[in-house]
Structure 1
Amino acid sequence: MSGPTTRAPGRWRRPARVAGRWAVRLAVAAAGALLGILLLGRVEAPIGPFDAGLALTPTGGGATVEVPPLGTLEVDAYDGPLGLDVQLRRVDETRIQALVSDPARLDGVVDQVSADLQDAVVRLAWTTAAAGVGGAAVASLLLYRRWREPLVAAGVSVVLLAGTAGLGAATWRPEALSQPTYTGLLVNATSLIGSAEDIVARFSAYRESLEELVTNVGTLYSALSALPAPGGPTDTVALLHVSDVHLNPAGFDLVAQVADQFDVDAVLDTGDITDWGSEPENRLIGSIGALGVPYVYVRGNHDSATTAALVASQPNATVLDDSATEVAGLTVIGARDPRFTPDKDATGDGETLEQTGEDLAEVAEEQAETPAIAMVHDPEQAGPLDGVVPLVLAGHTHEREVETLDGGTLLMVQGSTGGAGLRGLQGEYPEPLTCTVLYLDPDTGALVAYDDITLGGLGETEATIVRTVVPERTADDVPADVPADVPADGTQDGTGGGTPSSPTD
């Protein structure tokens, strides 16, 4: 008698074939959904003043904000196969100007950005879901060429996408938003501008005083008109020295008002007009072209070559880089700061500050007549120019200072026309906004007087002008024992928006 027939292998063959078919369906649906998401799962949306692109990409969760060319900001906010990628493509100039000119809009900018981002993410989620389901269905149809299969693939992709969303929600970590990881130039962000929370908390108070401060320049000008003419009966050349605007809109407003009300012949900018030298920052530089007077500029250590090129493209601007120009009949020379602080790997040939001063001294000696003014960014560049030119203008330190060097050259260091930008909001006594109107003899180029203009910092509404009349001196009678920044006889001051206080710089 024969034994029983074994049917075990056949018993498992059919379930294995079914499992294999579903595994293939799952793989096809997943691949098609991923391809659809990569091709179509993206949206363009305005986020506050920015135009941004948003996409979900297979990066293993979290969110990445790309800020070309500065770098990226990464937040490990959730887990999952798809990560949120936000790229800030450009700054809309119209929306930026609307924010700057309307304090009411600036009050709600955080809420507006949050609302815009939420709307964009919701729209991205629906777009991504449609792209994923559609991609899975199309891939299944192309492979199987049966109408039932796309429906199955669509259902599988819905389950996969729902699982991805559920995993993201279950692993959501809101505390990660306060601990981002920076790459690129943004690595320096916290060290350069300090605590963002502190800046936001103090900016509203700062903004409230800026409009009144800048308006006070008009009152100051009226007071100043009662002072004696800076050059006596002789006409003078009036030049406005500004420095370290650091992208403060109030600094640009101050430059425009002083240039107009003091009827200056030109503006001399000793650098750091921006903070990072980036494309978004550079959009405000276009206001230089509206000043209506020549604008002479040297690069600071926060200004990029792109920034300098944009300044040079303005119809009234000249960028000095070991070169000379003529302003109201006077020769002015200038050299850039060789450093670029936001990217220490982009400092060029490693030229030192002293070397740039030596090179500029050679430029001065090549001129047919002795230049009236040399422009540098860092006062350390001024040493080799001592005795070569009568006046050197600088900035960088955010501390106004006037000093006669050993060889008789007068070094005038400007404070910060932009109040040190965002960083000026950090300290207990934020930086004031400063600039100086220089009056020079049109024939000799000698400095005959200057008006130091100071607008108070955060929470202050004081604005002052101090006029210093420079006594006529020769190289032989410069007092060696008297600091050159002590006002000469005849110093007077005009005030507006409050009474003068002790110097803050």
Structure 2
Amino acid sequence: MDFRRWTQAIRRPTSGWGGMFRRAVSGRVARAVAVLAVAAAGAWLGVALGSPVRAVVGPVEAGMSAEVSWTGETIVDARPLGTLLFDTHDAPIRLRVTLENINTERARAMLEDPRLSDRLPALLEKELSEGIGQLIIRVVVSGLAGALIASLVVFRRPRAALAGLLSAVVMIAGVGTGAILTYRPGAVVEPEYTGLLSGAPSLVGDAESIVTRFESYRGQLAKLVNNVSQLYDTVSALPVYDADPTAIRVLHVSDIHLNLISWNLIRSITAQFKIDLIVDTGDITDHGTGPEDNFVKEIGDLGVPYVFVRGNHDSKATQRAVARQKGAVVLDDSVKTVAGLRIYGLGDPRFTPDKSVAVDSDPNSLAILGRAHATRLAQAFGPVDLVAVHDPTIGRAFSGTTPMVLSGHAHARSTELMPSGTRILVQGSTGGAGLRALEHDEPTPVMASVLYFDRETRRLRAWDDITLGGLGEQSVQIQRHLESEPGRTIFPEPTISPSPTGSTAGAATP
């Protein structure tokens, strides 16, 4: 039975005056309840579809939307860092603000205008108020339009549609009045953190400084993105290594530590330098938790193969999350040929965020582990062009088994040419060590390198070290290095074996 036939059945007279009276009363109540339900559903749908607005607040482009909620609150969504929840009111509607983008041109203009610092707070307050004003208008118009359309579609009578519209007016007015009467201005300085921030309090300090640190970090994002925009300008004039136009271009990143800005940098370099593959030597996350898995979804949008080895801050679950992304190649004691390079990768044996499990970080133990895997590499897999590990202590154990080893972990870039001929490249933190940058007086630089491999010999010919200033800094440096002997012979490292007299002597491995 459709709705119209049901309402007609309600209006049919019954025998007896008492029955007719009860039927009439119940019919009116049922129709009123139906009108209210349809109007409420239509208003909710209209608000959900038509209310979201985009507002520019300073250098930040934010999305604002209203949602029906039993608990009135304001949510600032700053993923992947987490969300901020403010208990601002009690009316059954939620205000959600999503930080979507940073306007690099406006950020640059603000940073370069010394007169803007005094006017900036008032400007931000004005633009935020304008955005909320637009949202309120959208909510009212969308809610009323939704209620009217829903009532017309369901009842198909002008009087019923008008009743639905009036019902929506009363409901929206009631919600707005409730929000105004219960508004708590002091709630903005008492946020509740959820998501990654609440799961990693060690990164942001004690409760008294958490708000200040987060505001500082958010304020510096514009400067960091401004650095990226400067990178665009710098690399556009930098001659790409052209000794071999067919060179295999590898982007080496490491220790991103949940810094969302890293993806902007990686996309920029990938496009500017025409990168063929990316090698990530670990610590893409901080605690290896489930919520952090959303962070790695950016990998699928990079458009090039993404080779990943697990760091000591990445769990096995993180490794599986990376493996699910389009273009990802996870290596853990395994070999795969990617973009013409035969690569061996080994995940870090430790998972340090889990304090319930003892972790052996003794350099001797790590070196022994590395030598065991280097032996296994030579015996089980054969020659490779590149080895990727997280800890350089493990990486040095592969000296003599491969021309090139990439690692990270140290949050500082360095390179070393081993006596065997193997080059070890330790990458700095591509994420500026994430939120750890807030715990030090000096910011951690943001680092990445572009490596050029000869497509025929698959040997390193040159590399560019790219360094951006960390939080609060605006420097950009790109330094070119040429490999002095790209075709050098790689000699096996000597092993220590006992002599007939009981002392130790160096003996070369076969």
TM-score (norm 2): 0.58
The match for 1:124 among 121, 130, 139 is 139
1:168: how far off? 1.7
Q: CA deviation at 1:333?
A: 0.6
Cross-structure match for 2:19:
none
CA distance, structure 2, for counterparts of residue 322 and residue 417 of structure 1: 24
SS at match of 1:42: helix
**Deviation, structure 1 residue 47:** 3.2
Instruction: Verify the 8 A CA contact 1:70 1:278 in the aligned structure 2.
Output: no
Alignment check: 8 A CA contact 1:239 1:265 kept: yes
Q: 1:464 to 1:122 in 2, by over 3 A?
A: same
**Secondary structure in 2 matching 1:415:** coil
The 8 Å contact of residues 43 and 123 in structure 1, kept in 2 or not, is answered as: no
| Match of residue 54, structure 2, among 47, 51, 60 | 47
Partners of 1:138 and 1:450 in 2: how far apart?
Answer: 66
Match of 1:77 in 2: 88
Which residue identity lines up with residue 265 of structure 2 in the other structure? A
How far apart in 1 are the matches of 2:144 and 2:195?
32
**Structure 2 counterparts to residues 210-225 of structure 1, below 5 A:** 210-213=228-231, 215-217=233-235
5 Å-filtered alignment, 1:105-504, equals 115-116=130-131, 118-128=133-143, 161-188=172-199, 192=203, 195-213=213-231, 215-217=233-235, 240-244=251-255, 246=259, 247-248=261-262, 249-257=264-272, 259=273, 267-271=278-282, 282-283=297-298, 286-289=301-304, 296-298=307-309, 301=313, 305-312=320-327, 318-326=329-337, 331-336=342-347, 361=374, 364-365=377-378, 367-379=380-392, 382=395, 391-402=404-415, 411-420=424-433, 428-436=441-449, 452-457=465-470, 458-465=473-480, 469=484, 474=491
Q: Report what 1:481 is aligned to.
A: none
1:240 Cα deviation (Å)?
4.8
2:492, 2:386 → 1: CA distance? 17
- 1:250 partner SS: helix
- Whether the 8 Å contact between 1:47 and 1:117 is mirrored in structure 2 is no
Q: Name the % identity.
A: 31
Q: Which moved more, 1:114-123 or 1:169-178?
A: 114-123
- Distance in structure 2 (CA, Å) of the matches to 1:311 and 1:397: 28
Give the Cα separation in 2 of the matches to 1:461 and 1:158: 56
Q: Which letter does structure 2 place at the counterpart of 1:459?
A: Q
Equivalent residues, number: 419
Cα deviation, residue 151, structure 1: 8.4
CA gap 1:172/1:385 in 2 versus in 1, 3 angstroms? same
Shift of 1:443: 9.2
1:107/1:204 contact within 8 Å kept:
no
CA distance in 1, matches of 2:420, 2:479: 32
1:312 Cα deviation after fit:
1.4
3-state DSSP of counterpart to 1:172: coil
Partners of 1:202 and 1:68 in 2: CA distance: 16
Residue 103 (structure 1) aligned to one of 96, 102, 105? 105
The residue identity in structure 2 corresponding to 1:125 is V
Match of 1:396, as an amino acid? H
Aligned to 2:507: none
Contact 1:434 1:453 survives alignment (8 Å): yes
Once the two structures are overlaid, the 10-residue window that deviates more, 392-401 or 112-121, is 112-121
- Aligned-partner Cα distance in 1 for 2:163–2:345: 72
Shift of 1:75: 1.8
Secondary structure class of the residue paired with 2:89: coil
The alpha carbon displacement at 1:220 in A equals 6.6
Distance 2:250 2:152 in 1: 71
Unaligned runs of 5+ in 1: 1-19, 230-234, 479-505
Whole-Å separation in 1 of the counterparts to 2:226 and 2:459: 40
How far apart, CA to CA, are the structure 2 residues paired with 1:87 and 1:459? 28
Counterpart of 1:310 in 2: which secondary structure? coil
Deviation at 1:174, TM superposition (A): 2.8
1:14 counterpart residue number? none
Q: Report the counterpart of residue 17 of structure 2 in structure 1.
A: none
Asked if the contact 1:450/1:469 (under 8 Å) is kept, the reply is no
Cα distance, 1:368 vs structure 2: 4.6
- Displacement after TM superposition at 1:427 (Å): 5.0
Q: Normalising by structure 1, what TM-score?
A: 0.58
AA at the equivalent of 1:269:
D
Deviation at 1:191, TM superposition (A): 5.4
Between the aligned partners of 1:74 and 1:423, the Cα distance in structure 2 is: 23
Give the CA deviation at 1:37: 4.9
Contact 2:351-2:359 within 8 A present in 1 as well:
no
Q: How far off is 1:334 after superposition?
A: 1.1
In structure 2, list runs of 5 or more residues that go unmatched: 1-24, 56-60, 111-122, 205-209, 496-510
Contact 2:407 2:427 in 1 (8 A): yes
Residues 214 and 250 of structure 1 are in contact (CA less than 8 Å); yes or no, is this contact kept in structure 2? no
> What is the CA–CA distance in structure 2 between the aligned matches of 1:85 and 1:282, rounded to whole Å?
26
Q: Is the 8 A contact 1:334 1:376 kept in 2?
A: yes
Does the 8 Å contact 1:64/1:73 carry over to 2?
Answer: yes
Asked if 2 retains the 8 angstrom alpha-carbon contact of 1:268 and 1:297, the reply is yes
Amino acid at match of 1:54: A
**Structure 1 residues 360 and 133, CA gap change in structure 2 (3 angstroms):** farther
Structure 1 pair 77–253 and aligned structure 2 pair: CA distance change class (3 A): same
Q: Which amino acid aligns with 2:68?
A: L
